[in-house]
């Protein structure tokens, strides 16, 4: 079974999971639950004739671990369930949803954004995907109201680079702006409380998120990025954890923060360290030239630093 970042799947228990990253085990997949079967849920899926509620976190998955202890493991990302493939009964790929989207969503802001990604960003339609609630069929709530947003992803390193170079122009033509201060504050309140504020600066790191489109004050769309099959780099976690570690250094390569896991290179003196984190909220958290304090686990290779727990963090100093 070939699954990669931002794919979804449904298990025999009718729980819908989001796939995390690319480095799975034989017969098992790193993924975390997003939509749960719930007779009183806000989401209806007409094909399945079921209702679902949304309850998701890539920080705390104690609920799913308590229900299914065999999803537990001691690997990185340690807080993401490892789901056996033989429990998966349906798979959803973001690129497969585009044809349906283009038929149904004309004259919407989402169609406008899709075209801007394609025409202004120079991304072929085949390299654009749609994930989230729209992908798995929740196009309407139980009250027949349209879903609040549609989530886009873009496949390929070169497409990411092109889009980044043209993104300010794209926003200008669309008439939208980068993520607002109020939305940064909202996301910091939503994501930050589980983490130690002494070693994290979510308002600052969230402000670095260049691929966000502020459509209106209560509506933000952030484009996500996925490696193509022939671009997936080797797993950055190659050795076991040696010890807890904290270091302050300068960011010298930020590009990996666009993908999952988020990775970036920092330098202190003559030494370089690759920071690796699977936390959703750290997309594009830093940029080249930033001075950052990273708290995490140093691995035995002496050059990899994983940020994988709630007592870890990334803090901008400048």
Per-residue pLDDT of 69-113, as tens digits, reads 999 999 999 999 999 999 999 999 999 999 999 999 998 999 999
Output the pLDDT for position 149: 84
Output the pLDDT for position 147: 57
Q: What is the mean pLDDT of the chain?
A: 94
Q: What is the pTM of this model?
A: 0.95
Strands of the chain (E only): list them.
8-11, 16-19, 28-37, 43-45, 50-54, 82-84, 88-92, 128-131, 151-155, 212-216, 219-222, 224-226, 241-253, 262-268, 271-277, 291-299, 304-307, 313-316
Using the predicted structure, report yes or no on whether residue 22 has a pLDDT greater than 90: yes
Can you tell me the distance from the alpha carbon of 209 to that of 205, in angstroms, rounded to the nearest whole number? 7
Output the pLDDT for position 1: 78
Output the pLDDT for position 139: 61
Using the predicted structure, report yes or no on whether residue 141 has a pLDDT greater than 50: no
* Beta bridge partner(s), residue 154: 128, 225
DSSP 94: G
CA-CA-CA-CA torsion sign (284, 126, 6, 180): positive
- Name which of 269, 225, 230, 229 is nearest 250 in CA terms: 269
Percent of the chain with pLDDT over 70: 97
Output the pLDDT for position 144: 44
Can you tell me the distance from the alpha carbon of 36 to that of 26, in angstroms, rounded to the nearest whole number? 26
Output the pLDDT for position 42: 87
Using the predicted structure, report yes or no on whether residue 199 has a pLDDT greater than 60: yes
Structural domains in the chain?
8-92 (no CATH), 95-175 (no CATH), 178-209+236-318 (2.40.50.140)
Percent of the chain with pLDDT over 90: 88
Per-residue pLDDT of 251-271, as tens digits, reads 999 999 999 999 999 999 999
Using the predicted structure, report yes or no on whether residue 146 has a pLDDT greater than 70: no
Q: pLDDT-based confidence at 280, cuts 50/70/90?
A: very high
Per-residue pLDDT of 215-244, as tens digits, reads 998 899 999 999 999 999 999 999 999 999
Output the pLDDT for position 183: 94
Structure tokens at 62: 């104690």
Other C-beta atoms within 10 Å of 31: how many? 27
Q: How far is CA 206 from the centre of its chain?
A: 13
Residue 124 φ/ψ, nearest 5 degrees: -65, 150
Residue 232 φ/ψ, nearest 5 degrees: -60, 120
Output the pLDDT for position 143: 47
Average pLDDT of 277-285? 96
Per-residue pLDDT of 244-253, as tens digits, reads 999 999 999 9
Sort strands 88-92 and 8-11 into parallel, antiparallel or unpaired: antiparallel
């Amino acid at each position: 079974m070939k699954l990669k970042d931002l794919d979804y799947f449904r298990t025999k228990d009718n729980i819908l999971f989001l796939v995390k990253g690319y480095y799975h085990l034989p017969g098992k997949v790193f993924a975390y639950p997003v939509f749960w079967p719930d007779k009183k849920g806000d989401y209806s899926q007409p094909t399945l004739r079921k209702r679902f509620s949304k309850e998701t976190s890539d920080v705390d998955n104690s609920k799913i671990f308590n229900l299914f202890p065999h999803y537990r493991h001691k690997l990185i990302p340690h807080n993401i369930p490892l789901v056996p493939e033989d429990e998966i009964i349906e798979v959803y790929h973001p690129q497969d949803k585009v044809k349906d989207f283009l038929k149904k969503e004309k004259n919407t802001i989402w169609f406008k954004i899709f075209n801007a990604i394609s025409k202004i960003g120079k991304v072929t339609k085949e390299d654009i995907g749609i994930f989230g609630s729209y992908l798995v069929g929740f196009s309407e709530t139980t009250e027949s109201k349209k879903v609040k947003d549609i989530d886009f992803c873009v496949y390929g390193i070169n497409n990411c680079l092109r889009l980044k170079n043209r993104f300010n122009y794209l926003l200008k033509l669309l008439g939208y702006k980068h993520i607002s201060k109020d939305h940064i504050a909202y996301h910091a309140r939503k994501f930050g409380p589980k983490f130690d504020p002494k070693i994290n600066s979510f308002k600052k790191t969230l402000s670095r998120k260049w691929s966000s489109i502020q459509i209106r004050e209560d509506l933000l769309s952030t484009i996500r990025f996925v490696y193509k099959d022939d671009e997936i780099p080797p797993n950055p976690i190659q050795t076991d954890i040696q010890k807890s570690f904290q270091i302050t250094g300068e960011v010298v390569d930020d590009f990996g923060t666009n993908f999952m896991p988020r990775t970036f290179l920092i330098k202190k003196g003559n030494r370089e360290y690759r920071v690796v984190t699977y936390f959703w909220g750290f997309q594009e958290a830093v940029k080249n030239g930033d001075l950052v304090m990273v708290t995490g686990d140093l691995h035995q290779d002496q050059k990899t630093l994983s940020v994988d727990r709630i007592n870890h963090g990334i803090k901008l100093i400048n």
